[in-house]
Amino acid sequence: MSVIEVDGVTRRFGEVVALDDVSLDVGAGELVGLLGPNGAGKSTLLSLISGQRRPDVGTVRLMGGDPRDAPSRISLGITPQETGLPATLKVREVVDFVAGHFPRPVPTGELLDQFGLTEMARKQTGALSGGQKRRLAVALSLVGNPRVVLLDEPTTGLDVGARQALWDAIRRYHAGGGTVLLTSHYLEEVQALAERVVVIDHGVVRADDSLDAILRRVALRRVVLTVKDDLSAWPGVVRVEQVGVTGADGATRQELFTPDADALVRDLVRADVDFRDLEIRGASLEEAFAEMVAAESPLEGATR
């Protein structure tokens, strides 16, 4: 059964189209990373799934029901933004308060223990450090024993240790059968956690595939050279981009994307292709990702 079903959803804010005909299906037990730059529409999508907003067009189902109906949200956990915790309430009080909304909550003591917050239980949330607030925020998403959690940038701004600890907590939840949809603009985070990756940009789903397939897609080398021939059909070349104007001699500066730069260059030399100014660069994940979401180069245009 699908835990989350988003079908042909469009959502506008005034003139801005935040989501444009987005469809997404998340099954029970999946761990899906939603990846995209700031303003891509990730948070809008989460707010539709959690019933805070309604789509202009299309349908959103959560556990088979309308997320705007409270009973559909019993199995849902989300993180508050850390800056939004009620500053005058104590940690234990916030957890108890949120737990009170659920029929079968995790005992507060157990949850605080699991997130290393036991010693902070009597502190007002306003007195917590950034890392502690993050931990509390993620803890709050799990307090109701949810079957699905939405994590919006769960570790943004955390140091390495704190991030690892939170990742472990998310993995534990997932290992116990939980479904996770997490957003991040850090590839690293998605890479560490997700099994499936959805790339979203300008309100459009650019890619939806397994983590491995996405990595293969973005983990390409770039071979830049100036050559007369059109190399887009060359074996091993995934995609070509023209990066300069055609010169007087008819040669063009081209950028070839390939999984194996060494093999490609050997082939070109062996075939006596007349190229010059060879340059080889590794497309880093970040770079490749940036390219993936750039509006000018839709992935669909890639030759595979």
Partner 1 sequence: MTTARSTTRPPVPPSGTTGTTVSPVRLAWLHLRYQFLETVRVPIAVIGNAVFPSLAMLFFVVPQSEVAGDPQIATMAVAGLGLFAVCSASLFTYGLGVAEDRALPFDPFLRSLPAGPGPRLVARVGNGAAFALIGLIPLIVVAWLFTAAAVTTVQLVAGVGMILAASVPFVLLGMGVGYSLTAKAALPVVQVILFPLAFAGGLFLPPVMFPYWMDTLSQATPTRAGRDLLVQALTGAEANPWAWPVLLGWTVLFAALAVWAYRRDEGRRFR
Binding residues for partner 1, per CB under 8 A? 1, 13-14, 16, 47, 50-61, 63-66, 68, 70-76, 78-81, 83-86, 88-89, 93, 97-98, 100-104, 124, 140, 144, 147
Residue nearer to partner 1 on the CB measure, 98 or 265: 98
CB of 148 to partner 1, least distance (A): 11
Indicate the residue among 86 and 282 with the shorter CB distance to partner 1: 86
CA angle 72/32/283 to nearest 5° reads: 155
Nearer Cβ to partner 1, position 179 or 252? 179
Residue with tokens 């939170």: 166
Beta carbon of residue 62, minimum distance to partner 1 (angstroms, whole number): 10
Q: Is the dihedral of CA 51, 57, 63, 69 positive or negative?
A: positive
Shortest distance, CB of residue 98 to partner 1, whole angstroms?
Answer: 7
As measured in angstroms, the least distance from the Cβ of 42 to partner 1 is 14
Of the two residues 99 and 251, which places its CB atom closer to partner 1 in the complex? 99
Q: Closer to partner 1 by CB, 128 or 214: give it.
A: 128
CB of 25: closest distance to partner 1 in angstroms?
15
Nearer to partner 1, 30 or 291 (CB): 30
Q: How far is the CB of 251 from partner 1 (least distance, A)?
A: 49
